Chain A
Amino acid sequence: MSHELRTPLNAILGYTELILDNIYGEVGEKVRDVLGRLEKSGRHLLALINDVLDLSKIEAGQLTLALAEYSMADVVQTVVTAVEALAAEKHLALKVAVAPDLPLGRGDERRIGQVLLNLVGNAIKFTEVGEVRVEVSASDGAFRVAVADTGPGIAPEDQAKIFEEFQQVDSSSTRKKGGTGLGLSIAKRIVEMHRGRIWVESSPGKGSTFCFTLPVRVE
């Protein structure tokens, strides 16, 4: 089903990009502006489709982890590279502290990257001033990953809710920030499939720190 849903959207996004790149002739400012909006909405829809499909797969028990050896430092590096531009655009410092000599992990590298990308992406999205800090360490056979931001923080009563489907703290922010409202619940499920734990430490006005732990080797 995933192929059927994404293929037409790929065509829409592909043609839009070609038009924006003047492949079909010079495009005027007004049309360019509208095409930019079309592209943005298309990408948002694609993100929603991806998330809904992931979640339905998880719920149907069809998401299986592709377990293999991976380097946690490489996962962090890939995610950081993917979001660097976003952080720079908002003039946020993106700091990374990965403990030296982390053990080689075993798990679903792509899914773990998806979790971290979600947390770091959220941190950048919801922080207007300051920094986003990623810290990774390992002890007692588990990785511990923390993503700390200097954003608005989350009230205690909202902290459990944000891991549920379609529950952003401020529902209008879903639209404004371009999120799907599904990322954290997917992250939670992926972490739990690895027999890890995910939680948030935060108080309003003092930023948020999202943490997760993963067994170093998932068998």
Chain B
Amino acid sequence: MSKRILVIEDHEDNRRILRDLLTSAGYEPLEAVTGEEGVALAETHRPDLILMDIQLPGLDGYEATRRIKANPALRHIPIIAVTSYALSGDEVKAKAAGCDAYVTKPFSPRALLAKVREFLPQG
């Protein structure tokens, strides 16, 4: 069974890029557009990894990460934060919120896939 990756990202093109990238690498992407939806999907679907955009409307990526990591049933799921270059200090905040790794935007799909493989070597 292929590994499931939950993509929480509000921007449509970024979602599509991640979907195409992950599918082609043999992973099964799940998608959420908001932080609230992402936390709900994590609870119902128990993905193997989460790609978390930080700048989300409403519940942002930090808070969504904190909620997921506060749930003992979900705590083990690695979360890779996708942070913006513009805001220095993002990485520190992402780690503090419980993210296991981060990539900065603009992310290169190639580099992002390499990061995913550090946690999930195989789709």
Chain A interface residues (CB < 8 Å from chain B): 2-3, 6-11, 13-15, 17-18, 21, 23-24, 46, 50, 53, 66, 108, 110-111
Asked if B45 lies at the interface with its beta carbon under 8 angstroms from chain A, I say: no
Query: Would you list 9 pairs from A and B whose C-beta atoms are within 8 A, ordered by A residue?
Result: A6-B86, A6-B105, A7-B14, A8-B13, A13-B108, A15-B13, A17-B110, A18-B109, A110-B88
Q: Are B89 and A66 in contact (CB under 8 A)?
A: yes
Q: Are B88 and A17 in contact (CB under 8 A)?
A: no
B residues 58-117 in Cβ contact with A at 8 Å: 84-86, 88-89, 105-110
B114 CB, nearest partner CB in chain A, Å: 12
In the bound complex, CA of A50 to CA of B55 (Å) = 18
The total of Cβ contacts below 8 Å across the A-B interface reads 57
Q: Are B20 and A18 in contact (CB under 8 A)?
A: yes
Q: Are B109 and A17 in contact (CB under 8 A)?
A: yes
User: Within 8 Å CB of B11, what residues of A?
Assistant: 7, 11
Please tell me which one of the listed residues A11, A46, A50 contacts residue B17 in the complex, with CB atoms under 8 A apart.
A11
Q: Are A24 and B20 in contact (CB under 8 A)?
A: yes
Asked if B21 lies at the interface with its beta carbon under 8 angstroms from chain A, I say: yes
User: Within 8 Å CB of B84, what residues of A?
Assistant: 2-3, 6
Per the CB 8 Å criterion, the residue count for chain B at the interface is: 19
* Majority SS at the chain A contact face: helix
In the bound complex, CA of A24 to CA of B88 (Å) = 35
A50 CB, nearest partner CB in chain B, Å: 7
User: Within 8 Å CB of B21, what residues of A?
Assistant: 18, 23
Q: Are A6 and B17 in contact (CB under 8 A)?
A: no
User: Within 8 Å CB of B44, what residues of A?
Assistant: none
B30 CB, nearest partner CB in chain A, Å: 19
**Which of A3, A8, A111 lies at the interface centre, i.e. has the most chain B CB atoms within 10 A of its CB?**
A3
In the bound complex, CA of A17 to CA of B114 (Å) = 14
Could you mark each residue 17-52 of chain B with 1 if its beta carbon is under 8 Å from any beta carbon of chain A, else 0? Answer: 100110010000000000000000000000000000
In the bound complex, CA of A6 to CA of B110 (Å) = 19
Q: Are A10 and B89 in contact (CB under 8 A)?
A: no
Q: Are A17 and B108 in contact (CB under 8 A)?
A: yes
